[in-house]
Amino acid sequence: MNRREVLAGMAAASLATASHSKTPGLGDIAATKGIRFGSAAGITKGGLRDPMVAEILKRDCRIIVAKNEMKMYTIRNTPAEVYDFSLGDEMLAFCEQHKLPLRGHTLFWAKDEFTPKWLLTHDFGTNPKLAAEKLLRDYIAKVTTHYGDRLTSWDVINEAIDEKTGDIRANVFTRILGEDTLRICFEAAREHLPNTELVYNDYMSWRFKDGLHRKGAIRLLRWFRDHNIPVDALGIQGHLGTDQGEGWDATADDNAPQYGEWSAFLDEANSLGYGLMITEFDVNDRRVLGD
């Protein structure tokens, strides 16, 4: 039996025990510290259709965030103006049934590799700026009006900063509209979601090599504020662990932690008027030796 099978067995045992006891779940324990504990969740493999996963989420979580069910490549994966909300609707129905707030993720993922393939070769015609803005606004309007205020929060834009330069990342929309892409996204979202929390989400960290990423994020937050763009919070991703890609070396200088700089970054973001949220947090242990 491998370590993953052992962990799965422990999870099953804990569920059986929980059904006969009043042991508090992780969400209850976190709440005593003023923390709202939740999880990302999907629908299919390893998701809500798995009864064990569904029970764990109901027991331990106080908020859920959609994995891929509300991304553009799921909702509109063809050039035709056909929107498929089926997976997102199934997730929302589960959350509403069990009184779990749901966060939307994400209206615009600013990386070409996570953009619908049809959009990468789309012909925006003789007035590409007008056409690109219309497509973006129409898409956001369709999604936000479909879900309305049934979602507590949205990651409006995901990962718009190029970590290598600290500049706005080049993608199918910014190559046409520039940084105005970001303004359009948040304004379109706020137009249809006057009371929903709107978040800019990114993965800058405390490592030495992420200094430019942190600086770029602060510049972007200042730009939002200076242009009265309706952003409520900075979403902070935390992807930790021993497997960060080929050649990863935790002892390398580039990966050295800069805790003082990280604290200053968080303080500066907060001083600009933004809330701070840990939106993604995971620990990858694939390179840890088994017992």
What CATH number did the domain enclosing 248 receive? 3.20.20.80
pLDDT tens-place values along the chain, 291 residues long: 444 443 344 455 455 444 445 788 999 999 999 999 999 999 988 899 999 999 999 999 999 999 999 999 999 999 999 999 999 999 999 999 999 999 999 999 999 999 999 999 999 999 999 999 999 999 999 999 999 999 999 999 999 999 999 999 999 999 999 999 999 999 999 999 999 999 999 999 888 888 999 999 999 999 999 999 999 999 999 877 655 555 555 556 566 678 899 999 999 999 999 999 999 888 777 666 665
For the chain, helix (H) and strand (E) counts, in that order, are 11, 7
Tell me if residue 224 falls in helix, strand or coil.
helix
In a domain, 50, yes or no: no
Considering its fold, how many domains does the chain have in total? 1
In a domain, 168, yes or no: yes
Burial grade of 220 (CB within 10 A; 0-12, 13-18, 19 or more) = buried
In a domain, 160, yes or no: yes
| Nearest alpha carbon to residue 197 among 225, 246, 235, 167 | 235
First to last CA, the chain: 11
Whether the CB-CB separation of 108 and 142 falls below 8 Å is answered with: no
| Nearest alpha carbon to residue 162 among 154, 172, 173, 170 | 170
Rounded to whole angstroms, what are the CA distances from 154 to 29, 85, 188, 235, 290?
A: 25, 16, 12, 10, 38
Single-letter amino acid code for the residue at 253: D
**What pTM does this model have?**
0.87
Residue 250: per-residue pLDDT: 56
In a domain, 275, yes or no: yes
In a domain, 80, yes or no: no
Task: Show the tokens assigned to 183.
Answer: 């303004």
In a domain, 58, yes or no: no
* Full residue range of the structural domain in which residue 161 is found: 103-283
Task: Show the tokens assigned to 208.
Answer: 């030495």
**Cα angle vertex 43, ends 38, 45, to 5°?**
105
Signed CA dihedral, 106, 142, 139, 86: sign only: positive
In a domain, 43, yes or no: no
In a domain, 162, yes or no: yes
Cα(4)–Cα(10) distance, rounded to whole angstroms?
10
